[in-house]
Amino acid sequence: MHNDAQQMIELGLNVIDIEAAAVNALRQRIDESFAAACVTMMNCKGRVVVTGMGKSGHIGCKIAATLASTGTPAFFVHPGEASHGDLGMITPGDVVLALSNSGETGEVLTILPLLKRMNSQLIGMTGNPASTLARESDVHLDVGVEKEACPLQLAPTASTTAALVMGDALAIALLKARGFTHEDFALSHPGGSLGKRLLLRVRDLMHSGERLPLVRADASLREALLEMTAKGLGMTAVIDADEQLLGIFTDGDLRRAFDAHTDLRGHRVSELMTSGGVRIEADKLAAEALQLMDDKKINALLVVDQQGQLAGALNMHDLLRAGVV
């Protein structure tokens, strides 16, 4: 390997080691101050307003986005713009989370007296517990690092990583404390495959009514196959004379029937079906249907209502088309 390439690899590994050490050092700072910051944000009647300058501002934007997507209403305000009108976005019921590695960032310190006048609670996240921002904060979170990964000790690297991880720790602690659920998360993530996995229900995708393959127990094999072909799901539900669900007949059942019998012309579908069949309730998430199919190694499910009555049918292709897979 070329010497230059080897040196680049070593430098990259060194950065990872330094930043990993910075993150590991945070374990000692998840303490009473961290709990106080969580309680302060939990009790917030308004929003959590995150602010920071430069690279701290970029990290602040990410923290605000993570908080907002996990149940804590939050947004980012640029401290420079705050002094020129955007301070009006902050209300007395808000909690301000201010990031500054030095704790002496001029644009952040400028707005502190105004925040105090509004009685907004202030959480400072700095790398210097003796700084002005740390002293003026109601709660201070220490995210100081021994050194930056930058060999010049100029570019914020380990310090921004530490701040980001502390922000994630706050967001997840609050998520758990609020009892935030998959469904809550889905409401703020409706787009893309994530939203589909978390929002789509079985009832949204299932075949029902005229689209549901259905035969009675005394139907012949030919009648069952015609129904399966017409509805295109590779299966059909089987019901009795009182329209109670008895089971399911699938392509797999047909193959097994051919293996077991030399002549199928005299058989009724009830003799060849899978009794009961794997079922899922219509209100379940489509992602749960996918998991059930994977676990059972099957491609189709019967769908029932809360009373256990047949409501529809679903197969793997429905999940693929919907982008759940």
Domain residue ranges of the chain, discontinuous segments joined by +:
3-180, 202-321
Distance separating alpha carbons of residues 192 and 194, to the nearest angstrom: 5
Q: Is the dihedral of CA 44, 46, 48, 53 positive or negative?
A: negative
Query: Is the pLDDT reported for residue 38 higher than 90?
Result: yes
Q: Does the model's pTM come out above 0.75? A: no
Structure confidence at residue 116 (pLDDT):
87
Distance separating alpha carbons of residues 61 and 38, to the nearest angstrom: 18
Percent of all residues in the chain with a pLDDT value above 90, rounded to a whole number? 62
CATH of domain 3-180: 3.40.50.10490
For residue 15, which of 138, 155, 118, 165 has the smallest C-alpha distance? 155
Lowest mean pLDDT among 86-95, 174-183, 277-286, 288-297: 174-183
Lowest mean pLDDT among 11-15, 151-155, 164-168, 251-255: 151-155
Do the Cβ atoms of 322 and 200 come closer than 8 Å? yes
The average pLDDT across 275-290 equals 90
Structure confidence at residue 63 (pLDDT):
97
Structure confidence at residue 192 (pLDDT):
58
Structure confidence at residue 286 (pLDDT):
87
Higher pLDDT, 175 or 262: 175
Query: Is the pLDDT reported for residue 128 higher than 70?
Result: yes
Grouping H, G, I as helix, E, B as strand and the rest as coil, residue 123 is strand
Do the Cβ atoms of 180 and 73 come closer than 8 Å? no
Q: What is the mean pLDDT of the chain?
A: 89
Q: Please state the φ and ψ torsions of residue 157, each to the nearest 5 degrees.
A: -135, -75
Do the Cβ atoms of 161 and 19 come closer than 8 Å? yes
Higher pLDDT, 191 or 136: 136
For residue 257, which of 272, 279, 236 has the smallest C-alpha distance? 272
Structure confidence at residue 198 (pLDDT):
67
Query: Is the pLDDT reported for residue 314 higher than 80?
Result: yes
Structure confidence at residue 190 (pLDDT):
56
Distance separating alpha carbons of residues 222 and 145, to the nearest angstrom: 74
The H-assigned helical ranges of 200-266 are 202-205, 221-231, 251-260
Do the Cβ atoms of 302 and 313 come closer than 8 Å? yes
pLDDT in tens, 255-267: 888 888 767 777 8
CATH of domain 202-321: 3.10.580.10
Structure confidence at residue 71 (pLDDT):
86
Query: Is the pLDDT reported for residue 249 higher than 60?
Result: yes
Lowest mean pLDDT among 1-10, 39-48, 72-81, 313-322: 1-10
Distance separating alpha carbons of residues 143 and 99, to the nearest angstrom: 10
Structure confidence at residue 50 (pLDDT):
97
Query: Is the pLDDT reported for residue 174 higher than 90?
Result: yes
How do 235-239 and 245-250 pair as beta strands? antiparallel
